[in-house]
């Protein structure tokens, strides 16, 4: 009998708003360790992303077969390759993880100051990846 390991090939998120780190819902902060520091938080209409000093936590809500929630906890050290792309009003972080999982984080409707914060966040992620 042969088994094939199931994994999603690509996942996309389209974040359109930056969240205040102090006003996150309790269900989000419940997943943080006591010593974790939140650097940034973003949301879509349904999903949320939290970037800490150690990892990113992605809350993926879907209505495909009723309401389903998937929580991705990705340590920065598991990112094998990445890139950041900028256009006039958007940006994207592309990642390949050690497991072969590929992810694209799109940030839409950005202002210049938001792009600067995103560039600094990406720099932090890549610096933490080297540790």
Record the pTM: 0.85
The pair of three-digit structure tokens given for residue 48, joined into one six-digit string: 């949320």
In angstroms, the CA 126 to CA 7 distance is 24
Q: 2 pLDDT exceeds 50? A: no
Q: 131 pLDDT exceeds 70? A: no
Q: 8 pLDDT exceeds 60? A: no
The full set of domain ranges for the chain reads 10-129
| Exposure letters 37-61 (e unless 16+ CB within 10 A, then b) | ebbbbbbbeebbbbbbebbbbbbbe
Architecture of domain 10-129: Roll (2.30)
In angstroms, the CA 8 to CA 102 distance is 8
């Amino acid at each position: 009998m042969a088994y094939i390991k199931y994994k999603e090939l690509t996942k996309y998120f389209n974040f359109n708003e930056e969240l205040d780190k102090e006003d996150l819902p309790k269900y989000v902060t419940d997943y943080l360790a006591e010593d974790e520091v939140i650097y940034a938080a973003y949301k879509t209409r349904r999903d949320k992303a939290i970037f800490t000093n150690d990892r990113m936590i992605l809350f993926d809500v879907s209505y495909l077969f009723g309401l389903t929630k998937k929580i991705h906890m990705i340590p920065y050290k598991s990112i094998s390759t990445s890139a950041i792309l900028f256009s006039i009003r958007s940006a994207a972080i592309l990642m390949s993880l050690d497991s072969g999982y590929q992810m694209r984080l799109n940030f839409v409707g950005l202002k210049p100051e938001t792009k600067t914060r995103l560039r600094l966040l990406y720099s932090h992620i890549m610096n933490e990846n080297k540790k």
